[in-house]
Structures are given as C-alpha cells and as structure tokens.
Chain A
Amino acid sequence: MPRTRPRTAVVPALAAVMLLCSCSAGSQGKEDEAAAKSGQRLTATLGTAKDSQGPAPAVEGARSGGTIRIANAGDYGHLDPQKIYAGESYSTSLLWGRQLTQYQVVDGKPRLVGDLATDTGQSSDGGRTWTYKLKDGIAWEDGEPITSEHVKYGIERTFAPGFELGPTYWPEWLTGSEDRTAAVAKYAGPEHGDLGAIETPDAKTIVFHFPQPQSDVPYMAAQSSSSPVRKDKDTGTGYDTRPFATGPYRITGHKQNQSLTLERNPHWKPETDPIRHQYADRFEFTFGKKILNTAQEVLNGRGDGPGTLSTKSEVPPELYAEARRDPKKKDLLVTGSQGAYTSDLYIKNSRVTDPEVRKAIHYLFPREQARQVLGGPRLGDFATTLSSPAVVGWKKYDLYPVAPAGDVEKAKEHLAKAKTKVDTLTYAYESDAPEKDRLAQVLVDAFAKAGIKLVTRPLEKAAFTNEVFRGPAPYDLWLSTNSVDWPTPSTLLPDSYHSKLDALANPIRYANPAVDKELERIAGIGDAQQKADALIALEETVMKDVPVVPFLYTAVTQFRGTNIGGAAIHPIYGSIAAADLYLKRS
C-alpha cells in the first residue's frame, strides 16, 4: 500500500475542500415543528357496510392522467400476494391487488372497511365462524368476475411449500395449530385437495371455520395474503414477479431489478372500491438508482424529478437539514408516523435477571442524546409504552417517568437496591452504518456515569439476528425496531412475551408465569374489543418488569416531486400511499 505515492492525489482534493468550506451557517437550534407527531393516537376504527361501498372519498384537487414515476433503490422481493410481508409492499401492492378488507384513509385517519367483501366480516359461534359476502361488479384484469373460490384458493396457497416467508396466521388459525409446521402437517396446500375449514356455499359467500375463537379476522383479511388468486393464472414462482391484477392498475411489464410498469385496469370499477383511486394513467417504477441521487433530482426538480417520488426510502440524512431550511424543499417532504412501529432498547431478561438493574437501565438510557446522534426528532417521538399509538385500545402510560436525557441519580439508587452487583453490560449492534458506532459511544458514555462498563459489540448485519436472538447469546442490550402485524394488540404480547415462545419470537427471553397464565386466558376471548382491552391492561403488568426500554414511536420523512399530489404517509403501512397519488399537471 505505501507504494502508491499519495501526494499528487491528495493535494487537489483537499484544496477543493478548503475552497468549499470557507463558512457554514450554524443550525440555530430551532424546534423541529414539522417533525411527525408520531406519539399521537392513530388507531384504526372498524367501518360499517355503508363505509365499505365505493367509490373512495376523492382526494381534494386531484386530477386524472399522466405518468407517475416511483424511483426505489431496490426491487420488491416478492409480488406474490401470499408472499408479501412488509409495510411498504402492502401499501404499494394495493395498486394492483385487492383483499377481503382494507384500510380506508380519510384525513389521515385509518378505517377498516370491506374491500372485495361488503363489510369487515360477520362473526358467529363466539368468534369461531366468520362470514364474508363478496361485492357485485368486482373483476379480474381480463374481466372475469372474482368469486369466493378465488379467495379460498389464495388463502389455501399460504399452506403450500414455498410460502413460509409470508404471515403464518391463516394456516395456524384455520387448523388450530401452534405454528405453521403443525398446520401444514394437517393440510399441505391446494395441491393436496380442498381445505374444509373454508366453505364457499356460493360464488359470493365465503365462510371461515376456526377451531378456536379468533377476534382479529377482519384485520387479517386486510393482509396481502387474503388476496384472491385464480388457479388458471397461478404461474407458481412466476406469479411472484407478475401477479394477476384485481385493483385499479395491472402490471404490463416487470424487468426484475430494473423496472415495473403499471397501466390502468379497464375492468376495475371505482364504485366497488372504497379505498383506491385511479388518477394517473400509468405508474413507472425504476429500481437500482442510489436514493441520494434520486432525492437530489426530486428536491431540486431536475430531469424527471418533479413527477418522481420514492415509496420505499426516506430523505437521505445528508440532505435532510438543507431540505428543512429551504421552504421550497421543505414543502416536498412527506412526514408521518411509521405505522405501528416502535423502537425499543431490548434487554436480555435471562441475563439481566434483576428487575432493579433493568430499571436502572431504563433510567440511564439517554433517549435525547441517542435520538440526536441518530438524526434528531424526525425519527419520532419518545415512547413510554410498549405498543404504538396506532394500536387499537392504546393507552398512554408512563410507569417510570424519566427526563429524556436520563437520570443518573435514580439509576444509581436502583443499582444500589439490586441483589446482584452489575458492573459490565454488553451492547450489540449492527455495524452497517457509522451512526450506530456513534450511538454505541453515547451509551458507553451514559452507562459509565453510573459506573457500568458497557462493552460494545458491532456485528455483521446478516449475522445479527442469529447471533443476538439465539438463547445463550452473550449480549445484554440491543436496539430493535418492531411492529405488530396489524394494528391491534393481539400480535404483540401473545407473540413475543409468552415464556414458551422460541428465541426468535421472544428474543429477550421474558418469562413471567402470571403473564403466561393471563395470555392463555386472553387467547380464548372471541370478542375483539374485550380481547384488546384485556391485552392493553396486561401490557402495564408486563412493563412493570421493565423487559425492554421504550425508545421511539418511529416516524418517517419521505419526499415527493413538485408535480406529485396526494402524497401522505399511510397511517398503517408507514410509507407514501401510492393509491392516492395524482399528477398536478400532466
């Protein structure tokens, strides 16, 4: 390496730097008034049959026509509706896919309504039977009507091999199994005949029979895996790159990792759809361009910038402060709460067994400094609860109030009360970004104030989950961003805080027999409201043990071109809702 003589290269580069940086304006410490208020309640309500009728409430000022360009850094891993399992993919796939139910967003407030179905579902038999009626006039992109058989076939596919990546709720609920493996032992997918648990008495009616009461079927019915699939159009793995459309747009071209083209679906009828719009003529997705370049084009209005946006990426941190200063660019920022996501400091309860030590960690954790070093208030509001304000029944509570900068004195008090003396803790983090190194230094600094030596372990991103989540992993603390599968508390505590769950589901190894017992009781409740209330009440019991330290209700800041109208963060899916977009001039 010393062979290369650096002097010729270094000099001009640094001279350029010196020219550029003669002065830089200070950041006058203004309060970030535009930051998303992610700490406010944003709960989905259940709509009536009347709400479920189309057409969708018009977006104010919307116009028809033109081509909207969506420039994302990477292609979608999956387009097969039964394989999609991520917020942004859910949101964007609404352009071409329809489900039994879906979230209608009016004035930023989500409401669950019937999509293909006439309402959000009728339950009987204490929540063991759910009946859906399909609307009239719903059709595939070739004009053929959508029938209950198609919905049934779609859900049956979730049992088949190759669909392990998608959500596992349908297989588990329909067979009454603990996990997907047990479920597919009972029924192995549509290749192996008919699933008795789903009845289709006629082309418009679909009836689910569950061995145990299920209260959250309306929400599960909104997930992408509740989309209909036509057997004659099911191309197996090919369906993952080009699904057959039921929504306002159909896929006319998909070059993987390059582009995806959507054109209007002539057989989609707006009067059947209470959620989606069909304003633009076309959507053109491009993949592979660096988001920094895209964002610069869009914010400066260069080239295709005015008609472009990104649904996947946030404003790159390099451009954020400048975009906030310039009123024209600020106008192009789209901020909102990132669905039901929360960010928490996880504590391995099997290693830090003493609740007093965990309480000390709660008081030590420097929320303010940590958020500052990661990018500031745009990341979201500080959290005090385990569940996000987007969850049904959410109640604000703050069991151990603490200043955002932490409270060393309180922490020391709790450390003194602890039965076991703790002087070293290990903090693991993904070493893929330098700000995570800096966050580690913030924590080292904070813990040192209470006499705790914090060992920091950067781990490869790919190995992180495996290294940290496995049972005997030697790490005490790590930061984790999580979401529930749908905005009710049903998938939060039961799926992460029962002691019998495996290390992947319950990585902190939380175990409280009283909580286990209560969770088992709640599992038997068939009424959605009662179940949500019981779970929210249990949440405080869990949080008294300080199994994790709530950090943020995460928010996102995305960007749109000047010519793009109707851009808003979807309150459930946490990214710009593509189905509401239009072009101001075309």
Chain B
Amino acid sequence: MAEEHSGRPSRVTPEAPSQGPSAPVSQGPFATACRAFRRDRTGLAALAAVVFCALLAAAAPLVTALYGKGPTAHYGQDTPGLLSAEGLPVQPNGGISADHWFGIEPGLGRDVLAQLLYGMRTSLLVALASVAVIAVTGIVLGVTVGYLSGLADRAFTFVCNVLLGFPTLLLLLALSPVIRTRFVGPGENEPAWMQFTSLILVFSAFGWVPLAMVLRTSVRALREREFVEAARAVGASRRHIVLRELLPNVWAPVLVHVTLAVPGIVTAEAALSFLGVGINEPIPDWGRMISRGSEVFYDDPTYMVFPGVAILVFVLAFNVLGDAVRDALDPRIVR
C-alpha cells in the first residue's frame, strides 16, 4: 500500500471527513467509503467511462449489427475504390466516410470502428479473467501465509522472489510458438480459447505476487492486534480467525489492487500482441492495430489514432477509478 502512495498528490479534499453528514457509529467502513467515493467527481466520471466501455464491449455484436459492419469482413478488398493498389485508403484521413466512421484498415480493408469495439472485448476479457484469478490466488496465498508465518512464510517469499525475477516477456516470446506447435494439430487452427487461456494463465501466474505480498504484510500486522488475540483467547478456530477476523480487514487493498491491475494487463496484452505473441489474426486486438498503425505511419497516420486514443482513454479511466477507489477506502484520509 505504502509504495502505491508515493508521489501522488492527495485528491480528496482535506475537509471531507469533517464536513460530511456526521456518520452514525454503527455505519460500516464500506458505506463510509461509498459516500467518500460519491463526493469524488473525477472518480465518478472515470467510473462512468469504465461502465460505458464495459457496456460497449459486452454489446459489441449488437452495436456492429446496428452499424452494419462486421469486424472481420475485408471491405476495402471486396469493394473497389476504397483501397489503392498498394492497399492504402483512397479517401483522405484513413478512409473515413459515411460508411466507415473511423476509416478502414490499410491492406485488408477492415472497418476500424468494428475492429475497435471487438478489440475492446478482447482486452477486457483477458484483463477481467486474469484479475479474477489474480484476486483469488493472491487473497488465498497472501492471507494464509501472513497468518501462518514460519516455514510457510519463507517458502512463500522465495517463490515470490523467483516469480518477480522471471523474465515474463521473454518467456512468452519463447513459449508462444512452442504452444502453437505442441498443442495444436497441423490440420487445425490455433483455437481462440487456447490463445486467451495461455495469456490469462501467464498474466495470473505472475500477477498474483504483488497482491499476495501486500496482503501478507497487512495480515502480519493484523495478526498481533487485540481483536485477533481476543478471538484466539476465546478459542476460535484458525479458519474462523482467517475468514471472519482477518479477511474482512483486507478488502480495501484487494479492491484497489484489482482496479489498478486491469489497465496494467490491458496494456501488457496490447504490448504482447504488438510483438506478435498475444492474440492472433483474425481476432480483433488493439495491440495488433497499433502495430499495423506503426507500419503505415508515414502513409496513413490516421489509422494509429483510433486504437491509440482508445487505449489511452480506457487505461486512463481505469487508473483514475483505481485512485478514486483507493482514496475512498484509505482510512488515513477518509476516517
């Protein structure tokens, strides 16, 4: 937690705790946090943007059906007059027209808007699935090890250090062709679920470490607190102590970590696809769109704008939301 705070100016107004309607003593920490969050306008805007993105991604097939374009159809190649013989859009500004609102992709001539919408699905699917696995693994391991300490703690620290030292990117670069040749028969395409699963597995395999380490530290501090001692003194079981006494006290860091992990994974996934080891053709993907944009940057710079801005807005919204969640939950500021 502490390291995440460094260098970031406090956004919540200092008078917030004193000016709010005086909280009844019985109100839980989450209700307080919700109230604090509701006062944070930037946070609310970010939440709105995130919800909007999520809705668009979920409803991508519906939206593209209304728009009348598919994400994988090669419009520029099938319709004469859209692409030049070299594969560049004939219309200025990347082929933006009434038919193709965001223009068409140089080369294959796919619709950029449809690609963007479906690309967001790809990003969100990978990020949310990875974050779910990260949260479960991180919580289980972090809380358990924090409570147990001793040999388990030493083993845990060692494993964490190994994982943190792992060259993840190189591993993926080396692994992806191996997966392709080993697990996919020569007569079949690499199934989409396999591409997604391997990405999610790699992100979660390395992503749970920071969360687990944060939780371990918090739980270690909590373990010596009076309420845990009291529970132990009245003979509560280990399970009870972990689940009922410790876990409710670490929700805040979990929530913050999870919200901030999503944009990290989205950019990491885009980077991998940019390098050609993420999601492959024909599944729409933002990283690959940016990679294509860099290839044709001199001739069709417009094409780079849309995936670039999309990633920027998406990641920014999640980051601002993460900050807002943290501010709302941080006991030092809110309470």
Binding site for B on A (CB under 8 A): 1-7, 10-11, 14, 17-18, 20-21, 23-32, 317-322, 366, 369, 372-373, 375-378, 424, 426, 431, 434-435, 437-438, 440-442, 444-445, 455-458, 460, 474-475
Q: Which of A322, A366, A437 has the most CB of B within 10 A?
A: A437
Find chain B residues with CB under 8 A from A455 CB.
187-189
| A256: min CB distance to chain B, Å | 28
- 11 new A-B contacts, CB < 8 A, other than A1-B168, A377-B86, are A2-B210, A6-B315, A10-B267, A20-B301, A26-B89, A27-B84, A27-B86, A27-B88, A28-B84, A441-B108, A455-B188
Asked if A18 and B95 sit within 8 Å, CB to CB, the answer is no
In the complex, which residue of chain A has the Cβ closest to the Cβ of B77? A369
Give the contacting residue for A17; candidates B281, B291, B308; CB below 8 A: B308
Find chain A residues with CB under 8 A from B210 CB.
2-3
Q: Mark B262-275, 1 if CB is under 8 A from A, else 0.
A: 01110110000000
Q: Which of A4, A7, A32, A440 has the most CB of B within 10 A?
A: A7
Give the contacting residue for B88; candidates A2, A31, A321, A456; CB below 8 A: A321
Question: Does B20 belong to the interface (CB within 8 Å)?
Answer: no
How long is the Cα–Cα vector from A318 to B87 in the complex, in angstroms? 12
Q: A426-B187, A441-B108 are in contact. Are A372 and B301 (CB under 8 A)?
A: no
Asked if A17 and B186 sit within 8 Å, CB to CB, the answer is no
| A180: min CB distance to chain B, Å | 32
Asked if B86 and A372 sit within 8 Å, CB to CB, the answer is yes
Asked if A1 and B203 sit within 8 Å, CB to CB, the answer is yes
Find chain A residues with CB under 8 A from B177 CB.
431, 460
Asked if A438 and B108 sit within 8 Å, CB to CB, the answer is yes
Q: Mark B80-94, 1 if CB is under 8 A from A, else 0.
A: 010111111111111
> Contacting chain A: which of B24-32, B53-61, B114-122, B292-300?
B292-300
Can you identify 23 A-B contacts, CB atoms within 8 angstroms? A1-B268, A5-B260, A5-B319, A10-B315, A17-B301, A20-B301, A23-B92, A24-B299, A27-B86, A30-B84, A31-B85, A369-B74, A372-B77, A372-B85, A375-B86, A378-B86, A431-B177, A434-B276, A435-B107, A440-B281, A442-B74, A458-B280, A474-B187
Asked if B87 and A375 sit within 8 Å, CB to CB, the answer is yes
Asked if A434 and B94 sit within 8 Å, CB to CB, the answer is no
Asked if A475 and B264 sit within 8 Å, CB to CB, the answer is no
Q: A3-B210, A14-B309, A26-B93 are in contact. Are A445 and B74 (CB under 8 A)?
A: yes
Give the contacting residue for B300; candidates A2, A24, A444; CB below 8 A: A24
In the complex, which residue of chain A has the Cβ closest to the Cβ of B290? A17
In the complex, which residue of chain A has the Cβ closest to the Cβ of B281? A437
Q: Mark B148-162, 1 if CB is under 8 A from A, else 0.
A: 000000000000000
Asked if A10 and B311 sit within 8 Å, CB to CB, the answer is yes
Question: Does B14 belong to the interface (CB within 8 Å)?
Answer: no
Give the contacting residue for B297; candidates A318, A438, A444, A475; CB below 8 A: A318
Find chain A residues with CB under 8 A from B85 CB.
29, 31-32, 372, 376-377
In the complex, which residue of chain A has the Cβ closest to the Cβ of B267? A6
How long is the Cα–Cα vector from A5 to B203 in the complex, in angstroms? 15
Question: Does B236 belong to the interface (CB within 8 Å)?
Answer: no
Q: A7-B263, A435-B107, A444-B282 are in contact. Are A320 and B91 (CB under 8 A)?
A: no
In the complex, which residue of chain B has the Cβ closest to the Cβ of A4? B264
Find chain A residues with CB under 8 A from B89 CB.
26-27
In the complex, which residue of chain B has the Cβ closest to the Cβ of A372? B87
How long is the Cα–Cα vector from A377 to B203 in the complex, in angstroms? 43
Cβ < 8 Å to A, chain B residues 286-330? 288, 291-292, 295-302, 304-305, 308-309, 311-312, 315-316, 319
Cβ < 8 Å to A, chain B residues 37-83? 72, 74, 77, 81, 83
Asked if A21 and B304 sit within 8 Å, CB to CB, the answer is yes
How long is the Cα–Cα vector from A536 to B292 in the complex, in angstroms? 43
In the complex, which residue of chain A has the Cβ closest to the Cβ of B292? A434
Asked if B308 and A24 sit within 8 Å, CB to CB, the answer is no
Asked if B267 and A376 sit within 8 Å, CB to CB, the answer is no
| B176: min CB distance to chain A, Å | 10
Find chain B residues with CB under 8 A from A440 CB.
281
Cβ < 8 Å to A, chain B residues 145-203? 164, 168-169, 177, 180, 186-189, 203
Asked if B90 and A26 sit within 8 Å, CB to CB, the answer is yes
Binding site for A on B (CB under 8 A): 72, 74, 77, 81, 83-95, 107-108, 134, 164, 168-169, 177, 180, 186-189, 203, 206-207, 210, 260-261, 263-265, 267-268, 276, 280-282, 288, 291-292, 295-302, 304-305, 308-309, 311-312, 315-316, 319
Q: A437-B280, A440-B281 are in contact. Are A28 and B90 (CB under 8 A)?
A: yes
How long is the Cα–Cα vector from A24 to B108 in the complex, in angstroms? 18
Q: A372-B87, A373-B87 are in contact. Are A318 and B296 (CB under 8 A)?
A: yes
Find chain B residues with CB under 8 A from A369 CB.
74, 77
| A559: min CB distance to chain B, Å | 15
How long is the Cα–Cα vector from A366 to B77 in the complex, in angstroms? 10
How long is the Cα–Cα vector from A362 to B92 in the complex, in angstroms? 35
Give the contacting residue for B84; candidates A7, A376, A444; CB below 8 A: A376
How long is the Cα–Cα vector from A474 to B304 in the complex, in angstroms? 38
In the complex, which residue of chain B has the Cβ closest to the Cβ of A473? B186
How long is the Cα–Cα vector from A321 to B91 in the complex, in angstroms? 15
How long is the Cα–Cα vector from A377 to B83 in the complex, in angstroms? 13
Find chain A residues with CB under 8 A from B276 CB.
431, 434
Find chain B residues with CB under 8 A from A11 CB.
312, 316
Find chain B residues with CB under 8 A from A366 CB.
77
Find chain A residues with CB under 8 A from B308 CB.
14, 17-18
In the complex, which residue of chain B has the Cβ closest to the Cβ of A455? B189
Find chain B residues with CB under 8 A from A424 CB.
187
Find chain A residues with CB under 8 A from B265 CB.
1-2
Asked if A7 and B315 sit within 8 Å, CB to CB, the answer is yes
Q: A7-B319, A17-B305 are in contact. Are A438 and B311 (CB under 8 A)?
A: no
How long is the Cα–Cα vector from A88 to B260 in the complex, in angstroms? 54
Asked if B107 and A1 sit within 8 Å, CB to CB, the answer is no
Asked if A319 and B282 sit within 8 Å, CB to CB, the answer is no
How long is the Cα–Cα vector from A18 to B134 in the complex, in angstroms? 34
Asked if A373 and B107 sit within 8 Å, CB to CB, the answer is yes
Find chain A residues with CB under 8 A from B81 CB.
29
Find chain A residues with CB under 8 A from B263 CB.
6-7
In the complex, which residue of chain B has the Cβ closest to the Cβ of A424? B187
Find chain A residues with CB under 8 A from B296 CB.
318
Q: A10-B311, A321-B88, A369-B77 are in contact. Are A5 and B264 (CB under 8 A)?
A: yes
Find chain A residues with CB under 8 A from B299 CB.
24, 27, 318, 321-322
Find chain B residues with CB under 8 A from A18 CB.
305, 308-309
Q: A10-B267, A322-B298 are in contact. Are A29 and B84 (CB under 8 A)?
A: yes
| B25: min CB distance to chain A, Å | 37
How long is the Cα–Cα vector from A431 to B276 in the complex, in angstroms? 9
How long is the Cα–Cα vector from A1 to B266 in the complex, in angstroms? 11
| A354: min CB distance to chain B, Å | 18
Asked if A1 and B264 sit within 8 Å, CB to CB, the answer is yes
Q: Which 7 A-B pairs have the closest CB atoms?
A: A2-B264, A376-B86, A21-B301, A26-B92, A27-B88, A474-B186, A27-B84
Find chain A residues with CB under 8 A from B164 CB.
3
How long is the Cα–Cα vector from A475 to B188 in the complex, in angstroms? 11
| A375: min CB distance to chain B, Å | 6
Find chain B residues with CB under 8 A from A445 CB.
74, 77
Give the contacting residue for A1; candidates B207, B281, B319; CB below 8 A: B207
Asked if A24 and B281 sit within 8 Å, CB to CB, the answer is no
Find chain A residues with CB under 8 A from B315 CB.
6-7, 10
How long is the Cα–Cα vector from A44 to B120 in the complex, in angstroms? 57
In the complex, which residue of chain B has the Cβ closest to the Cβ of A26? B92
Find chain B residues with CB under 8 A from A31 CB.
85
How long is the Cα–Cα vector from A506 to B334 in the complex, in angstroms? 76
How long is the Cα–Cα vector from A434 to B273 in the complex, in angstroms? 11
Find chain A residues with CB under 8 A from B203 CB.
1-2
Q: Which of A23, A431, A438 has the most CB of B within 10 A?
A: A438
